[in-house]
């Protein structure tokens, strides 16, 4: 009787909630072939990549006592890139010396990333998985990257908990996302999607943008303390992106697992 009841309960039990949004997966899967086109749907990510890489490299070098100007300043570091997409960050991280695992909710994104890495001669462990699928790897990674991901997840707290759980004590997290302000509504949503056409319409839901205070509080609940925040600001005359103290729209965060 007891065994029958247990089997019945397992059968009727609801599956664990996923942090991934089916709509977001479908949206980015539809654009997957454009990941490595610098003038395509992902052109904004190509444009901000140098700034993101500078922030990641310099903060990780400082935290792990490396010289950021070395040829391989991240040598020996085990890094997981969550929401890796087509590999725009994973590949340069590998070239800087790190061991890279890239995971993404979209199977087609992973296929594109694997193909491009193979063509580039880079050994990167790409997987079609979510952070909550990696329970056996808790505390494994030196660094977790959450770049332009948190504004797309279905369950922010669940996602932050799963991501933070992958970091070893003393390890680090680097995140970048969009602040939920009227300025970001005007520039990152209406301006970028409807006026300038930098992004396909519907790429972002402004209501899911995350304030720095919300990100800091959410990560603190899971043992990660944000130690630095920087904005990413567009310079229209020079037509490039720069690090700044302005967090009103795009921002980067560096956190340490205590």
Q: Which domains does the chain have, with CATH numbers?
A: 20-257 (3.40.50.150)
pLDDT at 7: 42
**pLDDT of amino acid 194:** 85
Whole-number pLDDT of residue 16? 53
What is the 3-class SS of 83-144, one letter each residue? CCCCCCCHHHHHHCCCEEEEECCCHHHHHHHHHHHHHHCCCCEEECCCHHHCHHHCCCEEEE
Report d(CA 151, CA 257) in Å as an integer.
22
Predicted local confidence at residue 200, as pLDDT = 86
- Strand partners for 172: 143, 256
Low-confidence ranges of the chain (pLDDT < 70): 1-17
Task: Please report the pLDDT score of residue 101 as a whole number.
Answer: 98
Q: What is the pLDDT of residue 28?
A: 82
Exposed, middle or buried, 170 (CB in 10 Å: 0-12/13-18/19+)? exposed
pLDDT of residue 115: 95
pLDDT at 26: 86
């Amino acid at each position: 009787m007891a065994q029958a009841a247990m089997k019945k309960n397992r059968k009727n039990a609801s599956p664990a909630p996923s942090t991934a949004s089916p709509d977001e997966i479908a949206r980015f899967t539809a654009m997957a072939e454009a990941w490595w086109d610098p003038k395509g749907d992902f052109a904004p990510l190509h444009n901000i990549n140098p700034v993101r890489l500078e922030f990641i490299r310099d903060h990780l070098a400082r935290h792990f006592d490396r010289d950021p100007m070395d040829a391989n300043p991240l040598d020996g570091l085990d890094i997981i890139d969550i929401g890796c997409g087509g590999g725009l960050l994973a590949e340069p991280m590998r070239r800087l010396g790190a061991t890279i695992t890239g995971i993404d909710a979209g199977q087609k994104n992973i296929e594109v990333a694997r193909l491009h890495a193979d063509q580039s001669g880079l050994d990167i462990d790409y997987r079609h998985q979510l952070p909550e699928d990696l329970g056996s790897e808790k505390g494994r990674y030196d660094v977790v990257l959450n770049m332009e991901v948190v504004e797309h997840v279905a369950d922010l707290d669940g996602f932050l908990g799963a991501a933070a759980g992958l970091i070893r004590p003393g390890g680090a997290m680097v995140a970048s996302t969009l602040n939920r302000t009227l300025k970001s509504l005007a520039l990152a949503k209406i301006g970028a999607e409807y006026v300038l056409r930098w992004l396909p319409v519907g790429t972002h839901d402004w209501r899911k943008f995350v304030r720095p205070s919300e990100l800091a509080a959410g990560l603190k609940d899971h043992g990660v303390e944000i130690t630095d925040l920087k904005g990413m600001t567009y310079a229209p005359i020079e037509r490039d992106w720069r690090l700044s103290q302005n967090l009103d729209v795009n921002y980067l965060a560096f956190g340490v697992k205590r």
